[in-house]
Amino acid sequence: MNRTPAPGRLRTAGAALVVTLVVLALLIDYWAQEVLPGSPIQLRILELRLAFNRGMAFSLGDSLPLWVVVSVTAAITAGVAVYGWRAARHGGPATTLALTLILAGAVSNVFDRLLDGAVTDYFHTGWWPTFNLADVYITGGVVLMIGAALFTRETADLRPQPGPVPDSTRS
């Protein structure tokens, strides 16, 4: 018995999860902007401290105009969305979940940048650049994608397909 959900169900579940995670990330970004300015919250292993990233990953491109940064990140996000939609047809649940997390993080950061002109960051470790929940989604998705690639079996049929046999006597 095949327990892998139908591609349509995986796509629908993935899309619903993307929307839910994006809303959650944007709500927490809003909370951070309201609560954290000037009053960081110290937790055991990290500090909640408000910061803004006007660039892309690790502040790369922070001196570029906003429209350039938004265009580049939105184009990459659209590419991930198209790839994820197509991959859900053939990929398993782990791959679909990984792409869903990556897409949710990317969409969250694009919307955050459109709303504020920068990405709102608030998780501060002291040894790593300050990051946000959307970045956690992206990192978790990448780790899951690597795990799925290493530890799951591909179901693609790799047997040779019938077709014309080349004639080796012609040159």
Residues with Cβ within 8 Å of 166's Cβ and at least 6 positions away in sequence, in order, are none
Establish whether 62 is a catalytic residue. no
In three-state secondary structure terms, 20 is helix
Establish whether 135 is a catalytic residue. yes
Distances (CA, A) of 99 to 25, 48, 68, 120, 135: 17, 27, 25, 22, 14
Q: Which of 29, 62, 121, 167 is catalytic?
A: 121
Structure tokens at 99: 């792409």
On the CB side of 63, CA atoms within 13 Å amount to 0
User: Could you tell me if 97 and 66 are in contact, meaning their C-beta atoms sit under 8 angstroms apart?
Assistant: no
Q: Which of 29, 112, 116, 135 is catalytic?
A: 135
Q: Which amino acid is residue 86, in one-letter code?
A: R
Positions marked catalytic: 121, 135
